[in-house]
Amino acid sequence: MTVTDPVCGMDVYDTRWTVVHESRMYAFCSEGCRALFLQDPTAHLSHEREKKHYDLVIIGGGPAGLTAAVYASLQHLHALLLTKDLGGQAVDTTKIKNYMGYDLITGPELLGKFRDQLLTQKYIEHRLDEVLRVEQTQEGFAMQTRNGCRYETPAVIVATGMHQRRLDVPGERRLQRRGVSYRLVHELEQYQEHSVAVVGGGNSGIEAATELSRIGCDVTLVSTGPLTGDADEIEQFMSSANVVVLTDHEVVAIDGEDQVTGLRVRPRGGGEERRLDVTAVFIEIGFMPNIDCVAHLVRRNRHGEIETGHDCSTSVQGIFAAGDVTNGYGKRIIIATGEGARAALAAGAYARARTAQYKDR
């Protein structure tokens, strides 16, 4: 049975850190949250809307945000991590190759190590909450969250990552979680030995198709152009006996009432439409940056990614960005973690300089 940490809102699966307050036991994700609770139990139990000031606020709990949080702690900054969940896309990655120190590790395993470092080794304050909007103020920035809290800070790191791009075809939204999926890891065993389709010819699509073929699925991979994944991944996939590849095809619609029953496709540039009898469609066509909370402030490129400098700074002084939400080259976990460290070091220097400036006035 899980309980919720009254300080940060995270689910707690063990009882290593507990407090008995007014005859009731509370469990915490870490010693840090337990210590915060003991300072003022009433504030955390009354669900008052927080209004606090921090040296640095980090938005996003993927590899970039978690690394930034650790490096904020190393600089002894009074920092806060705000995130809807811990892990980001990494938690849904079935295998991560060539991450330094690990020849092969799964997303959940790597996240577990990140989480331990954040919560028990280099603790900083954190809340499971969503930042709705960041606004500039005279002293820096203020942000409102979905839970009605307000936080102020001279420096912000945006590490909100990306979300799956959609096909926007008939049947897609209606049949989501009824055979339409964007995350293979949660659906894998459910479709063992079924006929399925994967849409997307990049690394994600090829890896998903390969995993499905391994569990006995008859897989049709649909791509709008040539396959663009790594050569060794393509070779491994194409050697499977139970796969069909349709390049230069586009999806027309996804069929089904209460469950996926088929996928309709046609050649790009015109041609006869055909129907594939499948019970599941896995959509792996890339990602869109999560920039809603700062889209009105920072400069972005034509893909919607936040433009950053060599120190992860943005077009707005005091706002830094790291990871997949930026225009940085290479959407890889190891690159995101490096950018998270760089952003924290730069934001820390900026926050200290800003604090000293106000003290001198």
Which pLDDT tens digit goes with each residue over 82-109?
999 887 665 555 566 667 777 777 777 7
Q: Are strands 319-321 and 287-289 parallel, antiparallel or unpaired?
A: unpaired
pLDDT tens, residue by residue, 38-59: 999 988 887 667 889 999 999 9
Helices 63-74 and 107-116 cross at an angle (nearest 10°) of: 20
pLDDT tens, residue by residue, 289-343: 999 999 999 999 998 999 999 999 999 999 999 999 999 988 888 899 999 999 9
Classify residue 323 by its DSSP letter.
G
Amino acid in the structure at residue 189: E
| 18 within 8 A of 25, measured Cβ to Cβ | yes
> pLDDT exceeding 70 applies to what percent of the chain?
93
Q: Which domains does the chain have, with CATH numbers?
A: 1-48 (no CATH), 49-163+288-359 (3.50.50.60), 180-285 (3.50.50.60)
- Backbone φ and ψ of 299, nearest 5°: -80, 140
Percentages helix, strand, coil for the chain (3-state, rounded to 5) are: 30, 30, 45
Confidence at residue 289, expressed as pLDDT on a 0 to 100 scale: 93
As a whole number of angstroms, the distance between CA 327 and CA 348 comes to: 22
As a whole number of angstroms, the distance between CA 194 and CA 27 comes to: 43
As a whole number of angstroms, the distance between CA 351 and CA 216 comes to: 55
Name the pLDDT band for 112 (thresholds 50, 70, 90): confident
| 132 within 8 A of 144, measured Cβ to Cβ | yes
Q: Global pTM?
A: 0.76
Tokens of 361: 């006035």
Classify residue 71 by its DSSP letter.
H
pLDDT tens, residue by residue, 138-153: 989 999 999 999 999 9
pLDDT tens, residue by residue, 170-189: 999 999 888 998 876 555 67
- What is the widest separation between alpha-carbon atoms in the chain? 73
> Which residue matches tokens 């006035």?
361
Phi-psi region of 167 (alpha: psi -120 to 50; beta: other; left: phi over 0): alpha
pLDDT tens, residue by residue, 185-226: 555 677 889 999 999 999 889 988 998 999 999 999 999 999
As a whole number of angstroms, the distance between CA 332 and CA 335 comes to: 5
Confidence at residue 165, expressed as pLDDT on a 0 to 100 scale: 87
